[in-house]
Amino acid sequence: MLELKENYWKKIPYFSNIEKNQWEDWKWQIRNRLVSIEDILKIFNPEKDLIKAFQRTTQIYHFGTTPYYLSLIKEFSYKDPIFKQIFPHLDEIDEEKQKFAYEDPFLEDGFLSPVQGLTHRYPDRVLFRATNFCSVYCRHCMRKRMFLEEERARTKEEYDQMFDYIRQNKNIKEVLISGGDPLTLPNKKIEYILKNLQEIEHIDIIRIGSRELVVNPYRFFDEDLLNLFEKYDKVWLITHFNHPNEITNITKKAVRNILQTGTPVLNQTVLMKDINDDKYIIETLMRDLLKVKIKPYYLFYCDPVKGSIHFRTDIKKGIAIIEHLRGRVSGLATPIYAVDLENGLGKVPVFPNYILEEGENYIIFRNYEGKIIKQRK
Q: Which residues are catalytic?
A: 121-122, 125, 134, 138, 141, 143, 303, 340, 347
H or E segment and range at residue 6: none
Q: Which of 207, 211, 243, 324 binds ligand SF4 (CB under 6 A)?
A: 211
59, 62, 70, 79, 349 from 146: Cα distances, Å = 14, 10, 22, 27, 27
141 labeled part of a ligand binding site = yes
90: CB partners within 8 A, 6+ apart: 53, 56, 57
Contact, 308 vs 142, CB < 8 A?
A: yes
DSSP letters spanning 131-189:
BS--SS--TT-TTGGGGGSPP-BPPHHHHHHHHHHHHH-TT--EEEEESS-GGGS-HHH
When asked if residue 176 is in the footprint of ligand PLP (CB under 6 A), the reply is: yes
Binding to ligand SF4 (CB under 6 A) within 95-154 occurs at: 134, 136-138, 141, 143
Can you list the pairs that 3-7 forms with residues at least 24 positions away whose Cβ atoms lie under 8 Å?
3/248, 3/249, 4/248, 4/249, 4/250
190 binds, among ligand PLP, ligand SF4, none (CB under 5 to 8 A by kind): none
Cβ proximity to ligand SF4: between 82 and 134 the closer is: 134
28 binds, among ligand PLP, ligand SF4, none (CB under 5 to 8 A by kind): none
Cβ proximity to ligand PLP: between 41 and 345 the closer is: 345
243 binds, among ligand SF4, ligand PLP, none (CB under 5 to 8 A by kind): none
When asked if residue 347 is in the footprint of ligand PLP (CB under 6 A), the reply is: yes
Q: Which of 125, 129, 240, 312 binds ligand PLP (CB under 6 A)?
A: 125
Pick from 203, 258, 207: nearest CA to 228: 258
When asked if residue 181 is in the footprint of ligand SF4 (CB under 6 A), the reply is: yes
138 labeled part of a ligand binding site = yes
211 binds, among ligand SF4, ligand PLP, none (CB under 5 to 8 A by kind): ligand SF4
301-329 burial code (b ≥16 CB/10 A, e <16): bbbbbbbbbbbbbeeebbbebbbbbeeeb
Binding-site residues for [4Fe-4S] cluster, please? 134, 138, 141
Binding-site residues, please? 134, 138, 141
Give the residues lining the site for ligand SF4 (CB under 6 A): 134, 136-138, 141, 143, 179-181, 211
Give the residues lining the site for ligand PLP (CB under 6 A): 106, 119, 121-122, 125, 127, 176, 347
